[in-house]
Amino acid sequence: MSALKLVLWGFLAVLGSVALAFVVGFVNPQERVNGLWLVVAAACIYVLAFRFYGRWISRRVVELNDQRVTPAVRLNDGINFHPTNKYVLFGHHFAAIAGAGPLLGPVLAAQFGFLPGFLWLVIGAVLGGAVQDFIILVASMRRNGRSLPEIARDELGLVTGTATAVAVLFIVVVALAGLGFAVVNALYRNAWGTFTIAMTIPIGLIMGFYLQRFRPGQVAEVSLLGVVLLVAAVIFGRVVAQSSVAGWFELERVTLVWALAGYGFLASVLPGWMLLVPRGYLSTFMKLGVVALLGVGVVLMAPTIEMPRVTIFASGGGPIIPGTLFPFLFITIACGAVSGFHSLVSSGTTPKMIEQESQATVGYGAMLLESFVGVMALIAASVLIPGDYLAINTMLSPDDLAAMGFPVSRIQELSQLVEAEVAGRPGGAVSLAVGMASIFSALPGMTGLMAYWYQFALVFEALFILTTIDTGTRVGRYLIQEMGGRFYPPLRRMNWWPGVVVSSGLIVGAWGYLIGTGSISTLWPMFGAANQLLGTLALCIGTTVLIKMRKAQYLWITALPMLFVGTITLIGSYEMFGMFVSKASSSADGGQAFALYLDAGLVAVVALLAVIVLGDSIKQWYGYVVLKRPFTSSEVVVLAGGGSPANYRRRFVMMMRVGGCSCPAGVAVEGGWSPMIFYPRTTRGISRMSKGAARPSFLLAERAR
């Protein structure tokens, strides 16, 4: 490292430390914090983490190698597997993982004060969330893009694999319901937002056909086209909302639920290049643009954080989240720090799109960027007067809030400025939109445009959420087909239309039902707990993958965050189960009682399955690491080599008898390169086979000449 770079990194470290000292109160503890310090501290930490910790993991732990041919190249079918431009790849992955969690979770968690949420967003993302996303993405990429449950089954056995598959399926449904509920509330009787969101579907289709059929490879052209059309849709949306056709887009909640389900079904069954990827790429422009603009607004205006560092609700009894700071802060923030849902994307669509292994660092970097979005959302909510923040996010009267010590100050003025009633709109979306609009309207030349920015912020939030819903529905479809394929083999064919249609319908029907029968007080905590439990399982499987990569000396990078997240989430799940059962037993509404009992059952099943997976995994780790028992790995290594294209059209299928068990390994070789193929690693029993020789870390099977 040159002296100049050393000075630069040192300066960032010092700047970040000073900013963090102001945030936590080491400097001027009695003064209210400036929002600028939160931005500076978070940005410095993220940049340093990506440069040093992320690079160290990529080089020393997983050892990314561009000579290894990825599934996107080797299994390219133009539908599920297809090499993707690295910028489009980043856009898709970030759009897919950055749903409602980093926006709404930190806003709701601000009830406890801004400091606990800020610290968990930053520390949790750097040491937990980004590591999980990265490790699972690499593991799936090196296993032909297999899903998280399939990796668990291959690496840990039938019991753990089945438990993981069932848990993941439950979690996907609950997660999509929680996210969908937020977007339904944001678009309820909102003609402007509904029109703009609806227009992103034809815009995405235009971009998909433009890039795939009309002008292949012209990413700059299609990006410009998409941005222009998106901006036009946002601007024209206000015209529509003020016209005679506004009633067509002022939809009720039930209609929105089914419209949302229809969109999720459509995105799941169509080829990824046609709608899923271009629409995600399109929404990324708006997401990054708005977040950057919000950051500029915070830097220029330096707003004061009105929310205390820690509130009285840290010990429980809060009007938004009823539990105590520990463990409910971590469950509420969810995606912004550690998100199990990300592991489904990292083992779902993204590993099937990576053209070169070095591009897998998108897993670590995109998580840090999502966490930064969470920090910006926390700032936007915390600049509101605490009484106004609570008036928006609860149904309590001003007198009740004043009795708690949080008098309402500007709620009527805010409603007039945004031209909409904002009091009594729980869920986090409205308070976030009001906070963002307050910052945007304070920028030079933006005075008087707060109503516009309020609606724009709601559209921004809905775009975040919808991109996760379409990707999540597709991932859920993959899970059902993989699980059902064990009993009915045709289901395993991802392009078999009857299976595609039925599995997609089951997923959207399940999460659509939960949205229709739930509320923010039940769905969001349940979503948060399920999401964190899935994160625990992903880190658990990641630990197993590291052991089988012969990187047991580094297993602490996944094991430590797994223990922390698992402990707090199991405690929270226990408390949540009791809360749901208590509410159900005292409810006079039979339908509501049934829904609450169902919620309690879902939480209990997921927690029990997580305990089974953890227990079985720890038992196997002890055997591999301490007792030095032999193991096999499902990792497939294909290295590009020299040779004539005429000799690569072959199919290599072999059975290896290793360590007392038969391990199938095969690769269908197609493409314009001459491959060198290596099959699953073993710890002993490697014998000389085929035309290759035994190697210390893998078996060389055959090389095309």
pLDDT digits (tens, 9 = 90+) for 43-76: 999 999 999 999 999 999 999 999 999 999 999 9
According to the model, what pLDDT value does residue 317 have?
87
- Host H or E run for residue 701: strand 699-703
Higher pLDDT, 562 or 495: 562
Q: How confident is the model at residue 649 (pLDDT cuts 50, 70, 90)?
A: very low
pLDDT digits (tens, 9 = 90+) for 387-418: 999 999 888 999 999 999 999 998 998 888 88
According to the model, what pLDDT value does residue 330 have?
92
Q: How confident is the model at residue 155 (pLDDT cuts 50, 70, 90)?
A: very high
Cα separation of 134 and 549, whole Å? 15
According to the model, what pLDDT value does residue 699 have?
33
Higher pLDDT, 204 or 139: 139
Residues 6+ apart with CB under 8 A from 180: 257, 260, 465, 469, 511, 512, 515
Q: How confident is the model at residue 678 (pLDDT cuts 50, 70, 90)?
A: very low
How many contiguous H segments (helices) and E segments (strands) does the chain have?
Answer: 26, 5
Cα separation of 190 and 173, whole Å? 26
Unique residue bearing structure tokens 């990707």: 471
**Strongest mean pLDDT among 139-153, 158-172, 272-286:** 139-153
According to the model, what pLDDT value does residue 264 have?
83
Burial 521-558 (b: 16+ CB within 10 A, else e): ebbbbbbbbbbbbbbbbbbbbbbbbbbbbeeeebbebb
According to the model, what pLDDT value does residue 382 have?
95
- Low-confidence winner among 140-144, 466-470, 678-682 (lowest mean pLDDT): 678-682
Q: Is the pLDDT of residue 673 over 60?
A: no
Q: How confident is the model at residue 521 (pLDDT cuts 50, 70, 90)?
A: low
What secondary structure letter does DSSP report for 665?
Answer: E
Neighbours of 111 (CB within 10 A): 25
Percent of the chain with pLDDT over 70: 88
CA atoms within 13 A on the CB side of 688: 3
As a residue count, the chain comes to 705
**Strongest mean pLDDT among 131-135, 195-199, 675-679:** 131-135
Q: How confident is the model at residue 681 (pLDDT cuts 50, 70, 90)?
A: very low
Cα separation of 542 and 539, whole Å? 5
Q: Is the pLDDT of residue 212 over 80?
A: no
Q: Is the peptide bond before 29 cis (omega within 30 degrees of 0)?
A: no
Provide the mean pLDDT of the chain.
Answer: 82
Q: What are the percentages of helix, strand and coil residues in the chain, rounded to 5?
A: 70, 5, 25
Q: How confident is the model at residue 280 (pLDDT cuts 50, 70, 90)?
A: low
Unique residue bearing structure tokens 């949420």: 117
Q: Is the pLDDT of residue 183 over 80?
A: no
What secondary structure letter does DSSP report for 27?
Answer: S
pLDDT digits (tens, 9 = 90+) for 540-583: 999 999 999 999 999 999 999 999 999 999 999 999 899 889 88
Neighbours of 563 (CB within 10 A): 14
Q: Is the pLDDT of residue 597 over 70?
A: yes
Kindly list the distances between the CA atom of residue 416 and the CA atoms of 423, 435, 438, 451, 489, in Å, as whole numbers in the listed order: 11, 14, 13, 9, 60
According to the model, what pLDDT value does residue 313 have?
94
- Least Cα distance to 678 among 662, 660, 696 occurs for 696
- At 224, the amino acid letter reads L
pLDDT digits (tens, 9 = 90+) for 79-116: 778 898 888 888 778 877 876 668 888 999 999 999 99
pLDDT digits (tens, 9 = 90+) for 439-448: 888 877 777 7
Burial (CB count <10 Å: 0-12, 13-18, 19+), residue 404: middle
Domains belonging to the chain, first-starting first, are: 3-188+251-623 (1.20.1740.10), 637-703 (no CATH)
According to the model, what pLDDT value does residue 523 have?
73
SS3 680: coil
Question: Residue 656 — φ and ψ, nearest 5°?
Answer: -110, 130
Assess contact for 59 and 297: CB atoms under 8 A.
no
**Strongest mean pLDDT among 285-294, 625-634, 664-673:** 625-634
Burial (CB count <10 Å: 0-12, 13-18, 19+), residue 619: exposed
DSSP string, 457-513: HHHHHHHHHHHHHHHHHHHHHHHHHHHHTTTSGGGG-TT-HHHHHHHHHHHHHHHHH
Q: Is the pLDDT of residue 243 over 80?
A: yes
Mean pLDDT across the stretch 288-295? 80
Higher pLDDT, 282 or 633: 633
Residues 6+ apart with CB under 8 A from 503: 476, 477, 480, 481, 484, 491
Q: How confident is the model at residue 683 (pLDDT cuts 50, 70, 90)?
A: very low
Q: Is the pLDDT of residue 522 over 80?
A: no
Neighbours of 575 (CB within 10 A): 19
Q: Which two tokens stand for residue 436?
A: 């963002």
